[in-house]
Amino acid sequence: MLKMKSWTLRFVAQTMLLLFWSAMAVWAIGPKDSSPHGTNIFAPASTPAKAISDLSVFVLVITGIIFVVVFALLAYSVIKFRGRAVDAGREPAQVYGSTQIELAWTIIPILIVIVLFLATARVLHAVQDAPQPPGAIEVTAIGHQYWWEFRYPKLGVVTANELHIPVSNPANPTPTFLTLLSADTDHSFWIPELAGKTDLIPNHPNRMWMDPLRTGIFLGQCAQYCGVQHAKMLLRVSVDSPADFAAWVRGQQQPAVQDASVATGRRVFESNACMNCHAVAGTNANGRFGPDLTHLMIRATIASGAASNTPENLRLWIQDPNAIKPGSLMPAMKLNDSDLDAVVSYMETLR
Amino acid sequence: MSSNAITIPGVQIDEKPWVDTLHEWVTTVDHKRLGVLYILYALLFLVVAGVEALIIRIQLMFPHNHFVSPQVFNRLFTMHGTTMVFFMGMPILFGFANYLVPLMIGARDMAFPRLNAFSFWLSAMGGFLLYFSLVGANGLYGAGNAPDAGWWAYAPLTARAFSPGHSTDYWTLALLVSGFGSIGTAINIIATILCMRCPGMKLNRMPLLAWLNLVMAGMVLLAVSPLTAAQFMLLIDRYLGGHFFDTQAGGSAMLWMHFFWIFGHPEVYVLIIPCFAFMSEIIPVFSRKPIFGYPVMVAATVCIGFVSMSVWAHHMFSVGMNSYANSFFTITTMAVGVPTGIKIFNWLGTMWGGKIQFKVPMLFCIAFLFQFLTAGLTGIMLGSAAFDSQLTLSYFVVAHFHYTLVGGVVFGVFAALYYWYPKITGRILNETLGKLHFWLFLIGFHLTFDLMHIPGLLGMPRRIYTYEPGRGWDTVNLLISVGGFIQAIAVVIFAANLVVSYFKGKKAGNDPWDAWTLEWATSSPPPAYNFASIPLVASRRPLWDLKHPEDPDSRYE
């Protein structure tokens, strides 16, 4: 019976150790297989994310060592000092404490805390107090229930949900500095591979920056609970080469395409409630409650990443937003089929 | 049902009509009965909030699952969190404090028995008020029927613009009412410990359980008061046109965060310190040694009490504080790790050189030690503000605090229930069922909460009702849910054990564990007056002195 007990305890110890190390293995393997679409905090692609990731590994190593040492001591004492049948009825030596030992296990943790604190403070200073270089791109990100508005005040560009920023060359950095605002509740901007998260809080403008070191699409989503559709407030950041970024900006600065073949759809759009919330540059539609639609067709997704930007999805979205994103603040427009087709055709010209 | 019992003059019979029994329990001011009421009421809410957690886990088993709607999901996690913290965690620990503190310090009752009953019923009504929202909060267009602003209820989600109807009001009132109950109980515990100790029980001879509950009660006073004030301010915002947190009228969302977390962080210590107290009583008894470093354990607890009052903004590392504020809260947060570490080492020192008996309460204690070690270390990671800017608001945080609250508090509470159930009922919980419960719960716990760290590191935010496939979150979430169901099965076995052992369990006698504190000196269950004559103590282990007159503790203290 007693033998079995010690076996079960060893089993606990080994199971826990195994679970811990398998978790560690997942973290370690993670970065290698991350596609450009990953959201792994250990696959950093910018300076702040890299600084945080390096610090994280340092903290993990220190806490990992503490874990192994204390775990081993606990497991050892549980196994070694188990009660045995032979000494039943006899009490062990009654020990009340030891000042030397207490001092040792007070001072050593204090030293560890000081080291971890200094390492953290250094990264905090580097990330939070970095000066803005002259070549920086400025973007104002505004959180809405449940989508993202991006404004480039110096470039005169307004877009939604899909942020485009240039890749930054360390020799001649062009980081992006974001001013974070909220139109309603709290949100949080989180692209794990580009930077730690920063909240968007009404009446409390925040700042953050990132200088992506490779091109590609980076994913993330709202991290602060903001209401019914918090889950489908997804983020896409397209990190472009300087030439691609310049071309994208030039395209965005154009007013909307005016295509006479979809005049019916435009009329439906402008004679219904659509234009109260949505803007299409160069037309009468200048609402700001919903995303700017001037270059809708450039975007890969609709509804803040909830669906891919296909004509079928667009049609479904206009007809019944709840089918894609229940609780979204866009009302069902209840258009008849011909109006619906006309509006979708109009949308499809907005490149 | 009416009673047909025949009353014979001069003969006392035990059978009473159930109405009389009910009346006795409802009007009781006995600390033991109130303790039991607290525990039963908390176990009821454990089941309710546990079912909510299971529904959440079913929804998250697969990406783009449609088991519940986003609206229902948001209500579920709000109710789960609020219930577990305010109507399961706090009441069950208050229940044990109520039951054990007077017995362990040799008193006949709490200092203020009527305040005690009043506080219990306030807390209980708070819980029922919260759940009455399911019935009472309907009525306005677009209004939900249960609170859905999350258990922190961040402004401005609670403003009337974003929370129409009455669900948020029920949340506010429930916490307000139970907050008064908690403050009443805290005052009572402090007064009892300071004024009601039996002769000879100096502060430095008090059982650690009493010491730790003293610190816990002090923290409740300091932490629950700001929360209660904030609830008033929220009500003023919602009904009297105030603008404390109403951002659309220039109010501050940050102000609510500070109010909430200056409550919220000490609150987690309010929950864990009584569990430290259980460890400090149970581990020595089953190691057959006195607690290692008693004075240091007391000092470390008081130290945790003070330092934990200055760490609250580590919940706010993503809200845009400057680098100096973030550094300050990093060092204070990590500093709490030092006294907490001392505690773990002292429990290790207690087991070291002992003769450990693996009874069910001790099994839960050993698991607690390993799990609290892990939770403490992930806490250090979260305390590093820069690392935290990635981890906060992700599933890593969810994993961390469930590791402390389930791996710590729930394991601690199970240990306490197995250990003191014989005292409360007179019968020992079945050992075989207990071991089955322990192992199943342990496996389920680790399957769920070890794995839950991973999606957080892979970028999965908390509080999302569904998620995108292909981000490495799918398989892990399925396994997490499976673990949840294993835990649920274990809890069902535990509930069965509670019932079966109550009727058929082995008789406990006064002192089934051969323990050393005063509660084991009286009968099981103890009489209403606790002790026929008030005991006189000369050391920290009065029953050791009694059992070993040749080598009493009093010789060394």
pLDDT, average across residues A213-238? 95
> Using the beta-carbon criterion (under 8 Å), do B338 and A12 form an inter-chain contact?
no
Query: Does A133 touch chain B if contact means CB atoms closer than 8 Å?
Result: no
Nearest-CA distance A133 → chain B (Å):
19
Q: What residue of A is the nearest CA neighbor of B455?
A: A40
**pLDDT tens across B318-352, in order?**
999 999 999 999 999 999 999 999 999 999 999 99
pLDDT interval class at B217 (50, 70, 90): very high
B314 touches B333 (CB < 8 A): yes
CATH of the domain at B181: 1.20.210.10
> Using the beta-carbon criterion (under 8 Å), do A196 and B353 form an inter-chain contact?
no
Q: Is the residue at B478 inside a domain?
A: yes
For residue A40, which residues of chain B lie inside 8 Å, CB to CB? Answer: 457-459, 472
pLDDT, average across residues A117-138? 95
What's the confidence (pLDDT) of residue B7?
52
Q: Give me the number of domains chain B comprises.
A: 1
> CA A141, B251, B227 angle in degrees (round to 5)?
110
Residue B34 has pLDDT above 70, yes or no: yes
- Please give the share of chain B, as a percent, with pLDDT higher than 70: 96
What's the confidence (pLDDT) of residue B484?
97
CA atoms within 13 A on the CB side of B207: 34
pLDDT, average across residues B393-414? 97
More confident residue, A1 or B277: B277
Residue A15 has pLDDT above 70, yes or no: no
**Which amino acid, one-letter code, is at B372?**
F
More confident residue, B2 or B16: B16
Nearest-CA distance A159 → chain B (Å):
23
pLDDT, average across residues B54-82? 96
> Using the beta-carbon criterion (under 8 Å), do A219 and B459 form an inter-chain contact?
yes
Residue B115 has pLDDT above 60, yes or no: yes
- Please give the share of chain A, as a percent, with pLDDT higher than 90: 84
pLDDT interval class at B45 (50, 70, 90): very high
Q: Is the residue at B336 inside a domain?
A: yes
What's the confidence (pLDDT) of residue B12?
57
**pLDDT tens across A48-107, in order?**
999 999 999 999 999 999 999 999 999 999 999 998 877 777 889 999 999 999 999 999
Residue A7 has pLDDT above 90, yes or no: no
* Nearest residue to B476 (alpha-carbon basis) of B398, B423, B528, B405: B398
Euclidean distance between CA atoms B206 and B557, whole angstroms: 12
Q: Mutation test of the interface with chain A: which of B352, B540, B551, choosing the one with the most A Cβ atoms within 10 A?
A: B352
> Using the beta-carbon criterion (under 8 Å), do B381 and A56 form an inter-chain contact?
yes
Range of the domain at B321: 18-555
Rg of chain B over Cα atoms, rounded to whole angstroms, equals 24
Of B150, B344, B457, nearest to A225 by CB-CB distance is B150
Euclidean distance between CA atoms A57 and A59, whole angstroms: 5
Q: Is the residue at B3 inside a domain?
A: no
**Which amino acid, one-letter code, is at A277?**
C
Of B335, B351, B439, nearest to A113 by CB-CB distance is B335
What's the confidence (pLDDT) of residue A8?
53
Query: Does A154 touch chain B if contact means CB atoms closer than 8 Å?
Result: no
pLDDT interval class at A162 (50, 70, 90): very high
> Using the beta-carbon criterion (under 8 Å), do A30 and B472 form an inter-chain contact?
yes
What's the confidence (pLDDT) of residue A31?
43
Examine residue B461 and say whether the peptide bond preceding it is cis (omega within 30 degrees of 0). Answer: no
Helix (H) or strand (E) holding A150: strand A147-152
> Using the beta-carbon criterion (under 8 Å), do A39 and B290 form an inter-chain contact?
no
**pLDDT tens across B444-486, in order?**
999 999 999 999 999 999 999 999 998 999 999 999 999 999 9
Query: Does A141 touch chain B if contact means CB atoms closer than 8 Å?
Result: no
pLDDT, averaged across chain B: 93
Euclidean distance between CA atoms A87 and B284, whole angstroms: 17
pLDDT interval class at A320 (50, 70, 90): very high
Q: Is the residue at B187 inside a domain?
A: yes
Query: Does A37 touch chain B if contact means CB atoms closer than 8 Å?
Result: yes
> Using the beta-carbon criterion (under 8 Å), do A185 and B156 form an inter-chain contact?
yes
Tally Cβ neighbours within 10 Å of residue B439.
Answer: 16
DSSP output for B437-499: HHHHHHHHHHHHHHHTHHHHHTT-BSS-S---TTSS-HHHHHHHHHHHHHHHHHHHHHHHHHH
Size of interface A-B (CB pairs under 8 A): 301
pLDDT interval class at B143 (50, 70, 90): low
pLDDT, average across residues B21-27? 93
Q: Mutation test of the interface with chain B: which of A37, A120, A191, A221, choosing the one with the most B Cβ atoms within 10 A?
A: A120
Q: Is the residue at B485 inside a domain?
A: yes
pLDDT, average across residues B433-439? 97
A269 touches A287 (CB < 8 A): no
pLDDT interval class at B11 (50, 70, 90): low
Structure token digits, residue A34: 């991350």
pLDDT interval class at A14 (50, 70, 90): low
A181 touches A142 (CB < 8 A): yes
Nearest-CA distance A160 → chain B (Å):
20
Residue B9 has pLDDT above 70, yes or no: no
**pLDDT tens across B157-203, in order?**
999 999 888 899 999 999 999 999 999 999 999 999 999 999 999 99
B265 touches B314 (CB < 8 A): yes
For chain A, domains (ranges, CATH) are: 2-83+99-128 (1.10.287), 137-253 (2.60.40.420), 260-348 (2.60.40.420)
Euclidean distance between CA atoms B351 and B30, whole angstroms: 36
Query: Does A297 touch chain B if contact means CB atoms closer than 8 Å?
Result: no
Of A13, A83, A201, nearest to B254 by CB-CB distance is A201
> Using the beta-carbon criterion (under 8 Å), do A116 and B446 form an inter-chain contact?
no
Specify the long-range contacts of residues B531-535, CB closer than 8 Å, at least 24 apart: B531/B106, B531/B108, B534/B106, B534/B108, B534/B198, B534/B199, B535/B106, B535/B198
Euclidean distance between CA atoms B300 and B208, whole angstroms: 12
> Using the beta-carbon criterion (under 8 Å), do A113 and B467 form an inter-chain contact?
no
Query: Does A326 touch chain B if contact means CB atoms closer than 8 Å?
Result: yes
Tally Cβ neighbours within 10 Å of residue B552.
Answer: 17
pLDDT, average across residues A307-318? 95
Of B70, B294, B392, nearest to A197 by CB-CB distance is B392
**Distance from first CA to last CA of chain B, Å, rounded?**
58
H helices of A167-320, where?
242-253, 263-271, 274-277, 311-319
pLDDT, average across residues A208-222? 95
Q: Is the residue at B435 inside a domain?
A: yes
